Chain A
Amino acid sequence: MTALVTGFGPFGRWSVNSSGEAVAALGAARPGLAVATLPVDHDAAPRALFDAVARVRPEVLLLTGLADEPRLRLEMRARRPEAWRDAPDDAARMLHGLWPWAAALDAMRATGAPARLSDDPGRYVCETTYWAALATGCAPLVAFLHTPPLGAGWDAARVAAAMGACLDAALSATSRGRRPC
């Protein structure tokens, strides 16, 4: 089962991005795992993602990014970027990830990390990138995980452990069931 995990680089006041740091730690701990760091830019991030996807051809794609909240947030859907400003959240402007949500949440919590499900990826580059992945069918299984800022009890290893658990939930769900598509 081929998996790709992406994180973002630094941006704005965040000179350290917990998602990119944790993805690097996870990649170092799992030599076979494909990882990539994306630039925080509405155009460049999807382009870098598509490059990595073309290289890796993942069956399981876990996108991650930083959110200023002291717990992990597993995003179930993305809204079409063009509709962020004007429109209510209606189904026509929504795409949904596919992941064993419940199992992933339990697995992250089992590492000792607080985690929740979310329907709001934040209307920034994270959501643009999630939308781009879903709209182009980058992989049969796609989800987006928001990671808390480092510091205040969070270091890269702790975030990486939870991230790894989230990924493993998807890998074991795919091997238990049949291969999607």
Chain B
Amino acid sequence: MLRLTLTAALLAWAAPGLAEGDAEAGYKLARMCSACHGRDGAAVRANTPSIAGLDAEYISEQLMEYRSGGRVHPEMNIVAGGLKDDQISDLAAWFAAQEIPAQ
């Protein structure tokens, strides 16, 4: 029983279970990211990564990490601070669907 509970807890931890995002809603939210990543995820600023075409799950995970302070970066911790789970999946869906910019 304990073992089952533990497994369930681990599974829940490994897969945060964010619903699949809505890219259109993500586009609207992405204006908050455009100063640095560009509206389409092609970075517009030095020392800022492009995030277009990254895996949606990866983007969600990183945003949750920035939100919690688990991944530390002064600007990203602020911008992601207080983002709601559905906003995170919407943003992830939008940026994941963008073309990876040519280098």
Q: Which residues of A contact B (CB under 8 A)?
A: 76-77, 91, 96, 98-104, 106-107, 117, 119, 140-141, 169-170, 172-174, 176-181
Given contacts A77-B35, A102-B32, A102-B87, contact A178 B74 (CB under 8 A): yes
Given contacts A102-B29, A177-B72, A180-B74, contact A76 B79 (CB under 8 A): no
Residues of A within 8 A of B67 (CB): 176
**Does A76 contact B82, Cβ atoms closer than 8 Å?**
no
Question: CA A100 – CA B29 in complex, angstroms?
Answer: 12
**Does A140 contact B81, Cβ atoms closer than 8 Å?**
no
Interface size class of chain B, counting residues whose CB lies under 8 Å from the partner chain? 20 to 34
**Does B79 contact A98, Cβ atoms closer than 8 Å?**
yes
Residues of B within 8 A of A77 (CB): 35
Question: CA A175 – CA B73 in complex, angstroms?
Answer: 13
Residues of B within 8 A of A103 (CB): 81-83
Determine which of A119, A140, A173, A180 lies in contact with B82 in the assembled complex, contact meaning CB atoms within 8 Å: A173
Determine which of B29, B31, B81, B87 lies in contact with A177 in the assembled complex, contact meaning CB atoms within 8 Å: B81
Determine which of B69, B74, B81 lies in contact with A181 in the assembled complex, contact meaning CB atoms within 8 Å: B74
Residues of A within 8 A of B68 (CB): 176
**In the complex, what residue of chain B is closest to A118 when comparing beta carbons?**
B31
Residues of A within 8 A of B84 (CB): 102, 106
Contact with A along B20-61 (1 / 0, CB 8 A): 000000000101100110000000100000000000000000
Question: CA A98 – CA B75 in complex, angstroms?
Answer: 7
B67 CB, min distance to chain A CBs, angstroms: 7
**In the complex, what residue of chain B is closest to A94 when comparing beta carbons?**
B35
Contact with A along B72-102 (1 / 0, CB 8 A): 1011111111111001000000000000000
**Does A117 contact B31, Cβ atoms closer than 8 Å?**
yes
Determine which of B35, B75, B81, B87 lies in contact with A176 in the assembled complex, contact meaning CB atoms within 8 Å: B81
B90 CB, min distance to chain A CBs, angstroms: 11
Residues of B within 8 A of A173 (CB): 77-78, 81-82
Given contacts A98-B75, A177-B72, A178-B72, contact A76 B35 (CB under 8 A): yes
